Structure 1
Amino acid sequence: MEDLISIIIPIYNVADFLEDSLESVVNQTYNNLQIILVNDASKDDCDIICEKYQKKDKRICLINHETRKGVAEARNTGLSASKGKYIGFVDPDDFVELDIFEKLYNTIKENSADISVCGYQIFGNKKDDKEGRITAKRFNCQEALDMLIKDSEMPSYLWNKLFKAELFKNCLFDSGCRYEDLRIMHRLFMKANVIVSIDNRLYHYRIRNGSITNLTKLNNSKELIDALDQRCEDLRDTNYYIDSRITELMQIRRILAEIILSHVDKNEFFNKTMLKGKEIYKECYRYLNINQKVKCQLFFLFPTLYAKYLFH
């Protein structure tokens, strides 16, 4: 008999997209699923949609939060209710190919792996649309973690992966925090022995930018840096610490350049982040390659000119 896979879907105010997402999950070619819907106190018609699908499909487990707890805690609720040997995640405004879990499961079994990873598409905003191409390969823990930390063909997304459930033992999402996938992924990889990637594009991630303001982007940037700080702290006593700091440095350079280009007033956050970037640059200087050194030096000397003419 096929192993049970638990699919955790945290839900909040996505009624316009939820049915398409659920249709792509309930119609999977891999049938032995536990589909866990965690409605995080949505204020739209998500509860009605969830109840409709629960009545139609006995594999669906519906959990309703009385008050909003956030996506990290919603996923933790899903983990607590999960019964599968394997765990996958789907965001409620995205959709997946109908054979995503069959292919990810078969990849794990054929390679005696702990995590499988697939390609993806990001869509919904022409500026940020992209194909997430993944090379088919079998990695040991060290190889995969190195790529993850360097953000090289192994992004920290939850939704394009299938995990052995045992990896989540004593490893939950940081409640109340954004970028919860970035905060947890290295911890999961460090507990895995084998990670396998396939080049099939099986997950479709939707960008919804209609309500994003400069303030929202600023808050997101603060939380991204906080998540990167946490990852660096987790890795401080490992061989991955310097690479994690270099990745944070490059993200800080990108964030500051985007603030300059958005014409937002340079506030306390900008100044603190600029200072933080310079401190990390000094800390990592001897480990940077020539290209990284030149870009950072130009940016810290001429931030506005760099952002306008050299940033990409």
Structure 2
Amino acid sequence: MADSSNIALSVIVPCYKVEKYLPKCLDSLMSQTLQNIEVICINDGSPDRCIDILHEYERRYPGKVVVIDKPNEGVWKGRWDGIARARGEYIGFLDSDDYVKPDFAESLYRAAKDSGADIAVCGFDRIDLETGKTLSREMASARNSFVIDDDPGRLIELNGAPWNKCFRSETLKNMRNLTNPPTVLDDLAFHLLAYCDLHGKVVFVPKSLVCYMVRAGSIINTVKRSQVESIFAAFLEIREYYENARPDLLHTLDAIAFLHLGISLIFRLSSTPGEDVRKDIDEMTEFLDSYFPSWRSSEYMSFGYAAPRGGALMKLLVVQKVYKAHLMPMFLSAYSFMIEKLNVDIKW
């Protein structure tokens, strides 16, 4: 049984229609080398056997597995319910169809605790669910830690998923919420809300500790046009938070908005049958220019800033130049060809 007075890490696991994968996920968490953890599982009104599986693990691991059974309200609300229940010094996340290495919890917690960091980030493997083949290994190279207030541009380097990170618990428990969370890019919106209240250190664990399972046909995730408005509304609410609470991070926010809206979202729209890509780009450019204007001349997308830091920042600099030269349709076509025909995916 986990000692409720000394829980190092709470791991939140939302569950919906994953009965086939859930046992492997939970087994990996029950096999962690760090003993004083708790695993908070949110059964989000799942219509399959998820709740039965969760109760079984709850009986086998009393106090270590905590089950929240609730009507279906989506992963956003479930995540907040888990945060409210969490007792750990740090909070991490895991998707219920993925699994982790035995030292996942200990590596993230020790890295954060030993350096007094607000966030610890580890690497992960993207694995084909059917073949077991590793498609890519990401965020696993050695990187220097940084202090957000000293070098906020490096937040751009962080991937937008919460499941390869742990966050200081008090930050998440006091974090702002959104009136209308987006149906797409909700993970990124969650990160941006967290960044708004963070000033301290981000540290990296240079090894792959998460096995992220990629299902057939999900390499390119399309977006429906009807979902874009909810994304825009969420980003405008986030922008307002930053203007009031963290004006020092506005240029960082603008660069992240360009990366995830101007590049990633446009790419996903371009993969949706029947979309007018040029019209989408024009509308996105107008939105970015109106509400995230420093993306065009951001210091974080300059050669002087990106070159010594490399990686995602250099790639972002290149694509910004492509975008400003009105060459995005050609770039998107080439990018789609690389993924679909050559099985090469450049992560941004």
Query: Which TM-score band applies after superposition, normalised by the shorter structure?
Result: 0.7 to 0.9
Q: Distance in 1 between matches of 2:93 and 2:175?
A: 15
Structure with more relative contact order (C-alpha pairs < 8 Å, separation 6 or more): 1
Once the two structures are TM-superposed, the CA of residue 249 in structure 1 deviates from its matched residue by: 2.9
Assess, with a 3 A threshold, how the Cα gap between structure 1 residues 129 and 228 changes in structure 2: closer, same or farther.
farther
1:295 aligned to which of 303, 311, 322: 322
Whether 2:80 is the aligned partner of 1:71: answer no
Q: Which amino acid aligns with 1:272?
A: E
The corresponding residue for 1:208 is 215
Matches within 5 A, 1:134-145: 134=140, 135-143=142-150, 145=152
Counterpart of 1:131, as a letter, is R
Q: Is 1:121–1:201's contact at 8 Å kept on the other side of the alignment? A: yes
2:274 corresponds, among 264, 267, 292, to 264
The structure 2 residue matched to 1:6, chosen from 7, 10, 13, is 10
Matched, 1:183 2:189: yes
TM-fit CA distance, 1:280? 6.8
Task: Flag the 1:86–1:244 CA change in 2: closer, same or farther, 3 A.
Answer: closer
The total of aligned residue pairs comes to: 306
2:234 matches 1:234? no
Q: Following the alignment from structure 2 to structure 1, what is the Cα–Cα distance between the partners of residues 134 and 212?
A: 11
1:73-222 paired onto structure 2 within 5 Å:
73-124=77-128, 129-134=135-140, 135-143=142-150, 145-148=152-155, 151-152=156-157, 154-171=158-175, 173-174=177-178, 176-178=181-183, 179-189=185-195, 190-210=197-217, 216=223, 218=225
Classify 1:86/1:282 alpha carbon distance in 2 versus 1 (closer, same or farther; 3 Å). closer
Tell me if 1:308 matches 2:333.
Answer: yes
**Local SS of the residue matching 2:211:** strand
* 16-25 or 99-108, larger mean C-alpha shift: 99-108
Structure 1: tracts of 5 or more residues without a match: none
TM-score (norm 1): 0.81
Cα deviation, 1:204-232, whole Å, max 9, x if unaligned, reads 22233558998655556555555544444
Identical positions, percent: 22
Cα 1:210/1:42, change in 2 over 3 Å: farther
- Amino acid of the structure 1 residue aligned with 2:100: V
What is the SS of the residue equivalent to 2:159?
coil
Q: Which residue identity lines up with residue 182 of structure 2 in the other structure?
A: C
1:62 to 61, 67, 71: 67
167-176 vs 24-33, which moves further: 167-176
**What SS is found at the alignment partner of 1:155?**
coil
Cα deviation for residue 277 of structure 1 reads: 5.1
**Structure 2 gap ranges (5+):** 303-316, 337-345
SS at match of 2:97: coil
- Whether contact under 8 Å (2:92, 2:167) holds in the other structure is yes
CA distance in 1, matches of 2:323, 2:160: 24
- Which deviations, in whole Å up to 9, do the C-alpha atoms of 1:4-24 show, x marking residues without a partner? 422211111111111110010
Q: What is aligned with 2:339?
A: none
